[in-house]
Structure 1
């Protein structure tokens, strides 16, 4: 059996490869999971994704398994505790942004019935299928990520710039940015087709 062909950005790191093979680009429709990714993406701003992945379990423990209902209630005492947690990124602005975003997240749920329905509406509930030959061809932002970023900011979300949002769209399968010769490209494409048929 030949060697598995993966997107170039993940090759060589077992944690990165596992994330790429199992999660990256798979359409995420569950609100709990969308909030987790949104939180991790906001903490990634200015850092590498592998840094966040290595701390993911620490984040999960520190932030009540990304339970946005609980996070929205965090007070100054809890924020101070998080600021002392060496297992996560101790950035006060990002920690406070997460608390704010949890509250805003629930407001969107109330308006749309689910956050998933809101965010997937930006791609007409069907993943954008790109044809990248090299991961370096992927844009940092698109008109779509710009539009979504502006709407989130208008709703009061923090740390949701266009670059963060495009990374979020890639991670949660709103866009398929696997390289065309990556073994996951076609599989992700098929998941998108199933969504269209549903």
Structure 2
């Protein structure tokens, strides 16, 4: 990496300049030019070293920004975990729910998902306690409005899959809303639109 090379070369040049200055201070050389030359070299090395450092640091900060608004990876993870959270709200996950989660996932992302992965995710969430609100708060800023709405719609589809919306599932849906930082008004509007369709192909 260029920034790493700049940092290394700059450090070597700066040390060389310091050694030249030191040689004059300790009278290894009596030439007055040694101090000037050493200072010039050390300064140049320091500048090169700083350029390498800031270039390297900038690259690292840039990596953190890769997860931006609308990032598909954040959405795909959140999608699975939202649907699983709704499904296990009654502390039970049957095969039909797993199939429905996989179906909705494929519809929204246009890719298949492994049903074993869904089972493993559910087992992990149940073992450690479902905290979908907290999880979503960590990724909500990386999701745009459209993706947040799709997470709510996917959750509603799972919630309505068995034709019975129990209290635990509704509480979980509200946790999802809070995690995404959405208002009750926004959710009511999505619900209204959802109830007018109730068809996955229209989502």
Q: TM-score, normalised by structure 2?
A: 0.25
Higher helix share: 2
When Rg is computed on C-alpha atoms for both structures, the one with the higher figure is 2
Q: Which of 1 and 2 has higher RCO (CA within 8 Å, sep 6+)?
A: 1
Q: TM-score, normalised by structure 1?
A: 0.25
